[in-house]
Amino acid sequence: MKKISVIVPCYNEQESLQLLYQELCRLMKAESKYEWEILFVNDGSKDDTLQVIQSLSAQDASVSYIDLSRNYGKETAMLAGFDYAQGDACVIMDADLQHPPMVVRDMLRKWEEGYDDVYGKRTTRAKESWLRKCLSYAFYYILQKSAKVDVLPNVGDFRLLDRKCIDALRQMRETDRYTKGLYCLIGFRKTYVEFETQDRVSGSSSWTLRGLISLAIEGIMSFTIAPLRLATWVGAITATGAFLYALYFLIKTLVVGDPVHGFPTLVILILFFGGAQLLALGVLGEYVGRIFHESKHRPNYFVQTYYSAKK
Ligand code: UDP
Ligand code: MG
């Protein structure tokens, strides 16, 4: 019998889990020709999420869990899920029921047809501010124009991955993770199923605008060196401009013999080049910072407990 693991990263989800579990039970009943494993990854929740998970796993042998030593963020929690999942295919889904479990049935059909990576494509973005929509649009635009891999917009982490993909993803141990890009990077046969995003059943999204912006920067910085290239171009153009301008002044002074005119020009130039240099340094710094993080080769996460009824 083929085994399917459902990986659910959870951070402060005590209210949603019971409901999610019920939905997953419906799914498992409908697809009883597979053996199922529900793998909860407790990402250092501060509420009673762990207790809820433990009571579920006490009732049901198909529920297993990983309790991480602290909050690492969803990207790392997913990696932990990939490492411990036992299935021939894995489904990743959010704990807040924004990803309707019944859609997994369509994903399974596609998987049986021979696809390795079946992703859920959102047909609507439920309740998001226009600012968030615009930023998200801009982000995908920049990423697609600059990175060599095609990162798909409106596609989240809700997907079914074959064992091949899981093994590929597990080999990428970078600390600054941008899993959405990694899915595209690994390739394999991909297809999609459409689904409508639901509103969270309870609580609020743990993403702040700041968090999203930093994830966006992460996405761009970890997939492309286009900003460095841009800094080089801006540098080259301004330097050429500056050189020509300097030449003009030199000639003018030699020919006309100019006294101390042009103070504003001087100030503007100093500020302009100062700014351009700082900007380029900042971009450079972002990459150096990433080299610093990766070069330490620290483990991605630590596990407090791992529990599985069937090993
Ligand atoms: N999550 C996590 N660690 C975190 C933040 C979130 O494991 O530090 C989980 C969370 O419990 C949920 C999923 O990641 O299952 C998506 O989080 P959320 O709903 O807050 O994000 P959104 O749906 O707005 O992208
Ligand atoms: Mg959510």
Enumerate the domain spans of the chain: 3-129+149-207+303-307, 226-295
pLDDT digits (tens, 9 = 90+) for 1-51: 899 999 999 999 888 899 999 999 999 998 889 999 999 999 999 999 999
pLDDT digits (tens, 9 = 90+) for 232-287: 788 778 878 877 887 887 787 778 876 667 766 787 788 778 777 877 887 788 78
For the chain, the first-to-last Cα distance in angstroms comes to: 16
Q: How many angstroms is it from 172 CA to the middle of ligand 1?
A: 21
Q: Minimal CA–CA distance to 89: which of 186, 162, 154, 196?
A: 162
CB of 66 within 6 A of ligand 1: the answer is no
What is the C-alpha to C-alpha distance for residues 158 and 194, in angstroms, rounded to an integer?
11
Which one is predicted more confidently, 226 or 149?
A: 226
CB of 184 within 6 A of ligand 1: the answer is no
What is the C-alpha to C-alpha distance for residues 17 and 305, in angstroms, rounded to an integer?
19
203-225: b (≥16 Cβ within 10 Å) or e:
eeeeeeeeeeeebbebbbbbbbe
Q: Give the pair of three-digit tokens for residue 297.
A: 């080769």
Judge contact between 86 and 37, C-beta under 8 A: yes
Alpha helix segments (H runs only) across the chain: 14-30, 49-59, 74-84, 103-112, 130-146, 163-170, 179-186, 209-223, 226-256, 263-295
- pLDDT at residue 116 greater than cutoff 90: yes
What is the C-alpha to C-alpha distance for residues 286 and 221, in angstroms, rounded to an integer?
8
- Range scoring the smallest mean pLDDT among 24-33, 61-70, 112-121, 244-253: 244-253
pTM of the model: 0.77
Identify the bridge partners of residue 66 per DSSP, sorted by sequence position.
41, 306
Name the one residue in this structure whose structure tokens are 């009883």.
Answer: 32
CB of 47 within 6 A of ligand 1: the answer is no
Sheet order of strands, 63-68 included: 190-195, 117-122, 155-162, 89-92, 3-10, 35-42, 63-68, 303-307
- What is the second-level CATH architecture of the domain 3-129+149-207+303-307? Alpha-Beta Complex (3.90)
CB of 13 within 6 A of ligand 1: the answer is yes
Q: How many angstroms is it from 122 CA to the middle of ligand 2?
A: 13
| Average pLDDT score over the chain | 84
